[in-house]
Amino acid sequence: MPAEQSLARQALNVPNMLSLLRLAGVPVFLWLVLGPEEDGWALAILIFSALTDWLDGKLARWLNQMSRLGQLLDPAADRLYILATLVAFLIREIVPWWVVVPLIVREAVLGACVLVLRRKGFAPPEVTYIGKGATFVLMYAFPFLLVTDGHSALAAFARPVAYAFTAWGAVLYLWSGALYVIQTVRAISRDRGAAASG
């Protein structure tokens, strides 16, 4: 019971509440993009998500409110937003399948790595600066991509910016995924080596 109360208190700190709000925004964003196609409101949610993704980490350090729950919530919210946005943009034909599929495969591979590591008694791979940078760039690419859906002057202006951010973010995202796979392989190799020597 004390652990549950501790988790409840952690959930009420400012950074974790921002992460929870970000998570709650995912289904709303999907409905806005795929249902009534209210892109203005969907854009507002994407901008809010990108800002809070940056802000929750800063606040956790400034307010000394870093927590285990926050370490789980923040990347979970990021991954869910990225996957949901990619799928929505694919359905709307805002981005082509050959951009979306490698990024989704990357997530599936990382999920398999986490399962393997947990089965072996290891913690998930450590988050790298490249991974954080990739998430940051993609989260800022998505609002620009949404604006490109149309033939307005704003869409024409946003298109090169969106494509540049998307290309940069996708490369970093795949690179960080490869680094996480390498971490996993090394951990399992060390474990096997220790078992063999023991």
Q: At residue 93, does pLDDT exceed 90? A: yes
Q: What pLDDT score does 7 carry? A: 58
Query: Which letter, b or e, does each residue of 47-82 get, where b requires 16 or more Cβ atoms within 10 Å of its Cβ?
Result: ebbbebbeebbebbeeeebbbebbeebbbebbeebb
pLDDT above 70 coverage of the chain, percent = 91
Number of domains in the chain: 1
Q: At residue 182, does pLDDT exceed 80? A: yes
Q: What pLDDT score does 2 carry? A: 39
Q: What is the CATH number of the domain that holds 114?
A: 1.20.120
Q: What pLDDT score does 3 carry? A: 46
Task: Provide the residue range defining the domain that includes 39.
Answer: 2-197
Rounded mean pLDDT, 151-158: 90
Q: What pLDDT score does 56 carry? A: 79
Rounded mean pLDDT, 131-135: 90
pTM, two decimal places: 0.84
- Window from 3-17, 68-82, 90-104 with minimum mean pLDDT: 3-17
Q: How far apart are CA 192 and CA 187, in angstroms?
A: 9
Which residues, 6+ apart, have CB-to-CB distance to 67 below 8 Å? 10, 13, 16, 60
Q: What pLDDT score does 98 carry? A: 95
